Structures are given as C-alpha cells and as structure tokens.
C-alpha cells in the first residue's frame, strides 16, 4: 500500500487512503466507498485485500459497492464478467502485469502450454482467462491437485501464485520455461517467492525475482488502470 501511494504521487495523481482496523465494520468500508463513488474528483478506487477475518465472507459484496467505472482493480462482478466474456474493461493489475512480463520475452504465447498454480480471484482465475485469450493451452493447479510437479514440468509458461515459500523446485520446471513468481511470503522477516529462485534460475529461460519482479509491475498496471479510469470518467474513451 505504501508503494501504491508513493507511485501514485510520482505519476502526478492525488491519492487518498483510509486505514481500517481489524475490527472495522462492513458499513465503515462501504460508507467510505460510497463517498468516493459520489466524488467527481475521484477517478479510481481500490480496497486492499485480504480483508480481516470477520469480513472475509463479505469480500465479493464489498467489491460490488465500488462504482464499476472506478474499479481500477477489476474485482467488481461486472468487470470480472466482462473479462470472462473476452471484452475486458479493467483487467486485474497482477495478471495484467504478468502478461506484459511474458510478452517482454518476445516469445509468442500462442499454442504454448501455460500452467497456473493457484486459483484465486485476484491472480489465478483472471490469469487463466488472459492466457486463454492469448491462445495458450491452460492448466490450473491448486491445493487439491495431485502430482503438481508432473503438471508444472510440461509448462512452457509457469505462473505461480499459491503463497507457499520456495514451493517450486528445479525438478518441477521444464528447461527454458518462462517462470513468473507471484508469491510474496515473509520468511524470517525476508520477502520470499513461491519459486526457489536460486535453483530454478539455472533451468528456466526467463524468471522473475522476488522482490523486484511481479510486485512493481502490479503497481505500474494500477497506475495505467487509474489513468484509464480517468479517461472513462471524462468521456475520452468508452
Ligand atoms: N492484495 C493482493 N493483491 C492485490 C491487488 O492487486 N489488489 C488489491 N486490492 N489487493 C490485493
């Protein structure tokens, strides 16, 4: 969140944030959202996830109180639906950044085997939709998947977002694969990815580090989505 505020200001945006505490009521959050929905000087709104435990079950309904035209995370059901249908408005920032990283390798995504480890609404699900849109063949693995290593070994493109530090080892990766590590785990005070970077980098063709890989891209995409939201609000794009 600190980085989001800092980068907003560097981009020349004015940013406001309101800290909630662990005992915040649902209405405190939705009240703030509604106030910003109705404020013409605000172009984009996001609620940082995960919500505290007692509000976790309300995540979807809280996302749906954000004006879909200001929903820069793309988590409102209308925006999630538009993405699933193949006519996206706001694309969730992390998967959008991952697609840009994959494209930056110069390798054509079309027809590649893409394996996504994790099925969250924030990363895994939209990532699968975006890679499918790019004509990759998709496999999604999750906590109940058997023999994950056998599946990830077939991946030309491997996107990992399960929140288990150093889960992906060298023997689970195909020679030359593009490996995108979305994991941000704090281990002994140190940020650690879901991929064992030190050993996997010897086998992968391309790999993102943690920190300094997907995280900064997510924030860059948030800036782009916010600028797009501004263009929507002002009627410059439809
Ligand atoms: N928590 C982890 N990733 C994200 C994100 O992209 N947006 C929000 N709002 N919360 C998150």
Q: Which residues are catalytic?
A: 4, 48, 73
Q: How many Å lie between the centroid of ligand 1 and the Cα of residue 184?
A: 12
Cα(38)–Cα(84) distance, integer angstroms: 28
Per residue in 38-47, pLDDT tens?
A: 999 999 999 9
Whether ligand 1 lies within 6 angstroms of the CB of 214 is answered as no
- 53-93: pLDDT as tens digits: 999 999 999 999 999 999 999 999 999 999 999 999 999 99
Phi, psi of 124 (to 5 degrees): -55, -55
Look at residue 221 and give its three-state secondary structure.
helix
Distance 144 CA to ligand 1 centre (A): 24
- Between the alpha carbon of residue 93 and those of residues 113, 137, 152, 173, 187, the distances in Å are 23, 22, 24, 25, 25
Task: Give the pLDDT of residue 21.
Answer: 86
Contact 196, 152 (CB under 8 A): no
Distance 84 CA to ligand 1 centre (A): 19
pLDDT tens, the chain, 238 aa long: 999 999 999 999 999 999 998 899 999 999 999 999 999 999 999 999 999 999 999 999 999 999 999 999 999 999 999 999 999 999 999 999 999 999 999 999 999 999 999 999 999 999 999 999 999 999 999 999 999 999 999 999 999 999 999 999 999 999 999 999 999 999 999 999 999 999 999 999 999 999 999 999 999 999 999 999 999 999 998 8
**Ligand 1 pocket check for 122: Cβ under 6 Å:** yes
Give the C-alpha separation, 82 to 205, whole Å. Answer: 33
**Closest atom of ligand 1 relative to the 48 alpha carbon:** 9
Distance CA 200, CA 100 (A): 21
In the sheet that holds 137-141, the strands lie side by side as 137-141, 113-117, 157-160, 178-181, 206-207
Angle, in degrees to the nearest 10, between helices 124-133 and 77-85: 30
Q: Does 225 contact ligand 1 (Cβ within 6 A)?
A: no
């Amino acid at each position: 969140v600190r980085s989001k505020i800092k980068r907003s200001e560097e981009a020349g945006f004015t940013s406001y944030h309101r800290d909630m505490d662990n005992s915040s009521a649902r209405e405190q959050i939705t009240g703030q959202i509604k106030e910003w929905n109705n404020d013409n000087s605000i172009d984009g709104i996001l609620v940082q996830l995960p919500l505290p435990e007692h509000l976790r079950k309300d995540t979807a309904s809280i996302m749906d109180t954000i004006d879909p035209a200001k929903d820069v995370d793309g988590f409102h059901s209308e925006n999630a639906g538009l993405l699933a249908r193949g006519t996206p408005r706001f694309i969730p920032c992390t998967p959008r950044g991952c697609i840009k990283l994959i494209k930056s390798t110069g390798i054509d995504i079309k027809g590649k085997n893409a394996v996504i480890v994790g099925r969250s609404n924030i990363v895994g699900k939209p990532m699968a939709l975006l890679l499918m849109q790019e004509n990759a063949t998709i496999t999604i693995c999750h906590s109940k998947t058997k023999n994950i290593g056998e599946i990830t070994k077939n991946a030309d493109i491997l996107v990992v977002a399960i929140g288990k530090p150093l889960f992906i080892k060298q023997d689970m990766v195909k020679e030359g694969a593009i490996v995108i590590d979305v994991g941000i785990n704090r281990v002994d005070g140190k940020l650690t990815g879901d991929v064992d970077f030190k050993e996997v980098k010897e086998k992968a063709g391309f790999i993102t580090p943690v920190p300094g890989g997907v995280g900064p891209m997510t924030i860059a995409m948030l800036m782009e989505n916010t600028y797009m939201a501004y263009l929507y609000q002002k009627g410059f794009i439809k």
